[in-house]
Amino acid sequence: MKTIIFDSSTLINFAINGLLQEFRELKKLFDGKFLITREIVGEIIDKPIKIKRFELEALKLKELITDRILEMPSALGIDENKISKKTNEIMNVANNTFFGQGNAIHIIDVGEASCLALSRLLNEKEIKNLISVDERTVRLLCEKPENLFAIFQKKLHTDLKFKKENFRNFKEFKFIRSTELIYIAYKKGIIQLRNHQNVLDALLYAMKLNGCSISDDEISEMKRL
């Protein structure tokens, strides 16, 4: 069994760009499960469904669950209570890692932490998994926390500290972004566009401009692969 865990940021990106059909096609190609946590359901469906401007996207995302494109962790026998417990543990460590002006800087919230918690539980069960997250903070915290600290230093102009021993708590996680997923969709020929010369460019920039943390240089490199 293998799984991809989805953070709100990736799903919102596909929804805003009108690429949920392509998302469904990606699932058909994937011999495993696309998972989301209860906390992410709150972010992508329960809250936006009450706002007229985002009601349609929320309904379309809800359909993904109804159609079992996205599944809850219980589909793999993972207990919600265990996720909640691990989520709190992860939030507690993450939000007590960087300090400024005598305060612990709260860097992540419950949805993002729940993705890490689910990944950790899957790792314990030796189930291969990736987390798809478009926003940069969680990815930086896990992949290069020194860079996150450098951003704080550059932006906050104050005396900052970090607990280096906490960094190892986040080393086990592996990440992709919506840009890698749409790249695969393009390469597998499931994009519903005629083969114009600039389709990949358009797809990657659409993802970037709706919140995927990817640089222009990275996009150029992806196009050359």
Partner 1 sequence: MQEKENVLRILQETKAAIRDNDSLKLKELSNQTIHTASIAQDPDNIAVAVAVYSLSKIVERKEYRTFTGWENFYKNILFAVDNSIIAIRKNDDRKLKESLMSIRKSVSKLSGKLKGYIQDVFRKAEINKASKIYEHGISMEKTASLLGITMFELASYAGQKPDGEAPLSKTIDVKTRIKTAMDMFK
Residue 65 within binding range of partner 1, rule CB under 8 A: no
Query: What is the nearest approach in angstroms of partner 1 to the Cβ of residue 40?
Result: 9
Widest Cα–Cα separation across the chain: 56
Query: What is the nearest approach in angstroms of partner 1 to the Cβ of residue 136?
Result: 5
Residue 56 within binding range of partner 1, rule CB under 8 A: no
Which span (4-12, 62-70, 74-82, 194-202) binds partner 1, by CB under 8 A? 4-12
Please give the single-letter amino acid code of residue 2.
Answer: K
Supply the DSSP symbol for 48. G
Please give the single-letter amino acid code of residue 191.
Answer: I
Please give the single-letter amino acid code of residue 28.
Answer: K
For 35, the token pair is 């998972």
A 10 A CB-CB count for 42 gives 15
Residue 157 within binding range of partner 1, rule CB under 8 A: yes
For tokens 């918690």, name the residue. Answer: 117
Residue 52 within binding range of partner 1, rule CB under 8 A: no
> x/- binding map, residues 69-98, to partner 1, per CB under 8 A?
------------------------------
Q: Which is nearer to partner 1, 132 or 194 (CB)?
A: 132
Q: Which is nearer to partner 1, 137 or 166 (CB)?
A: 137
Total binding residues toward partner 1, as defined by CB under 8 A: 74
Bridge partners of 34, per DSSP, are 4, 70
CA distance 24 to 200: 19
Residue 180 within binding range of partner 1, rule CB under 8 A: yes
Binding residue (CB under 8 A) for partner 1 from 21, 74, 92, 147: 147
